């Protein structure tokens, strides 16, 4: 395995059990709904993962498009949402099926650390094309440079304690340490951004951006940005 796309397309123990998946999904769902202006908005969730909240989220917007780079995830989502006309599932290679000025809101949670700088810039231009004027882009879980991994571990363990999957999370952390995750993190690395640099990158691509006070999910050591297409 030599890419993060392959890693997310395969089996992994990042979400340690069903309780973890559900608690994570509930938290992300609540974080997303804060950004929904009304039920007429068109929403894209980019790098959506399993998005267990999708069925509920579709009732809070006019239409919901879920996009991921993992063929396995896309297939799972498609079979889960068969017949649900307000949800569309796309693989990233379908990007040219999306018309200009389509979305009021694009959500990207915990994705840009897995893309290199030039991929991130290309994706931001893609978002610029498909967002309506004044449409919003919410990018969460951006990792700052020199971020100690211990902070992520402590945050996960606190979340696990509150949601009653502490033992499973300890086992999951152990498995992840000896998995492809560690190998890829050492060899490919992750992308880190200082808030000011990330805001600058957004501004240079036609967004008015600012840092939010609260990140998505349980890890408040990472950053969330709100950007508006101008």
Ligand X SMILES: C[S@@+](CC[C@H](N)C(=O)[O-])C[C@H]1O[C@@H](n2cnc3c(N)ncnc32)[C@H](O)[C@@H]1O
Cβ 189 to ligand X, closest distance in Å? Answer: 14
Count Cβ neighbours within 10 Å for each residue of 207-227 and write b for 16 or more, e otherwise: bebeeeeebbbbbeebbbbbb
- Choices 56-64, 106-114, 172-180, 186-194 (CB under 6 A): range interacting with ligand X: 106-114
* Three-point CA angle 141, 147, 153, nearest 5°: 75
Q: Footprint of ligand X on residues 149-178 (CB under 6 A)?
A: none
Single out the residue of 23, 47, 57, 224 in contact with ligand X (rule: CB under 6 A): 47
Query: Which residue of 69, 169, 179, 219 would you call a contact of ligand X, by CB under 6 A?
Result: 69
CA dist., res. 1 & res. 151, Å (int): 27
**Of residues 16, 28, 66, 106, which one binds ligand X by CB under 6 A?**
28
Helix (H/G/I), strand (E/B), else coil: 222 = coil
CA distance 56 to 87: 11
Q: What is the DSSP letter of 36?
A: -
Contacting residue, 68, 89, 138, 225, with ligand X by CB under 6 A: 68
Strand partners, 107: 45, 138
Listed ranges 43-51, 163-171, 185-193, 207-215: which one lies at the site for ligand X (CB under 6 A): 43-51
- Of 35, 44, 49, 205, the residue at the interface with ligand X (CB under 6 A) is 49
Contact residues for ligand X (CB under 6 A)?
4-5, 8, 28, 47-49, 68-70, 73, 92, 109-111, 114-115
């Amino acid at each position: 395995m030599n890419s993060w796309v392959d890693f997310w397309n395969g089996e992994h123990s990042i979400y340690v059990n069903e309780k973890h998946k559900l608690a994570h999904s509930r938290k992300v769902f609540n974080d997303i709904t804060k950004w929904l202006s009304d039920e007429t908005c068109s929403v894209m969730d980019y790098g959506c993962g399993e998005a267990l909240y999708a069925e509920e989220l579709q009732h809070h917007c006019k239409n919901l498009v879920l996009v991921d780079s993992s063929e396995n995830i896309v297939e799972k989502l498609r079979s889960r949402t068969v017949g649900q006309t307000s949800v569309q599932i796309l693989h990233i290679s379908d990007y040219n099926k999306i018309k200009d000025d389509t979305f009021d809101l694009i959500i990207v949670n915990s994705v840009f650390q897995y893309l290199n700088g030039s991929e991130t810039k290309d994706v931001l231009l893609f978002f610029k094309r498909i967002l309506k004027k004044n449409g919003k882009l919410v990018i969460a879980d951006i990792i700052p440079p020199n971020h100690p991994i211990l902070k992520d571990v402590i945050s996960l363990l606190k979340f696990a304690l509150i949601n009653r999957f502490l033992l499973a999370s300890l086992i999951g952390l152990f498995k992840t340490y000896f998995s492809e995750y560690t190998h890829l993190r050492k060899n490919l690395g992750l992308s880190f951004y200082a808030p000011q640099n990330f805001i600058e990158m957004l501004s240079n691509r036609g967004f008015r951006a600012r840092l939010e006070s609260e990140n998505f999910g349980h890890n408040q050591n990472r950053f969330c940005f709100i950007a508006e297409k101008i």
